[in-house]
Amino acid sequence: MAFRIAVTGNPGVGKSTLVAKVAAATGMRVGGVLARDKHYKDRRIGFELLDLASGAVGMLADETGSGPQLGKYRVHPEDLDGLGARAIENALKCDLIVVDEVGPMELTSHRFVSAVEMAIASSRPMLVVLHEWSNHRLAKKIRSTFQVITVTRENRASLSDEIANALSGKK
């Protein structure tokens, strides 16, 4: 079975930044989805989705969406299903599948969950950001079958090369 790593940790600790660095450092053909904060002036107003293979960008959630509400944000199901889930489905052709994040917003989409399940069933290496407290069945499956690493402010700088080397088979 391929190597699978999930990173977890407190909000704002740098999980997505770490995953982006790892994806770039592996030298592998990377597919999947990365979540990025969307800011206006000095304030976070939502989250974008980036398809790592195509470069396409969509909106995961913001304060104006019409989908399910989580805190002050509303999920954009059309982008989550269309761009997010499709990016993971297409990543099955890549050397490394990245999923950022398996968390409350993303888990509102049945297609997203199905895409992640298909990726897990594949033989591809995976790097996943896992919501720290999720009890969803998919989160439980990832916790039981992936190597789970907790990212902290103290260890985040040293983890990038370590995870990239592990995923690409380097020592």
Per-residue pLDDT tens digits for 62-102:
999 789 999 999 999 999 999 999 999 999 999 999 999 99
Average pLDDT of the residues in 39-58: 94
pLDDT in the model for residue 169: 78
As assigned by CATH, the class of the 4-168 domain is alpha beta
Q: Are 19 and 127 in contact (CB under 8 A)?
A: yes
Average pLDDT over residues 152-160: 93
pLDDT at 147 over 50: yes
**Does the pLDDT at position 161 exceed 70?**
yes
The pLDDT, as a whole number, for residue 171 is 54
* Across 135-147, average pLDDT: 96
* Phi then psi dihedrals of residue 19, to 5 deg: -60, -40
SS3 148: strand
The amino acid sitting at 121 is A
Q: Where do the structural domains in the chain lie, given as residue ranges?
A: 4-168
Question: Residue 1 has what pLDDT?
Answer: 41
Q: What are the distances in angstroms from CA 61 to CA 64, 77, 81, 171? A: 8, 9, 12, 38
Provide the percentage of residues in the chain whose pLDDT is more than 90. Answer: 87
- For residue 170, is pLDDT > 80? no
* Model confidence, pTM: 0.94
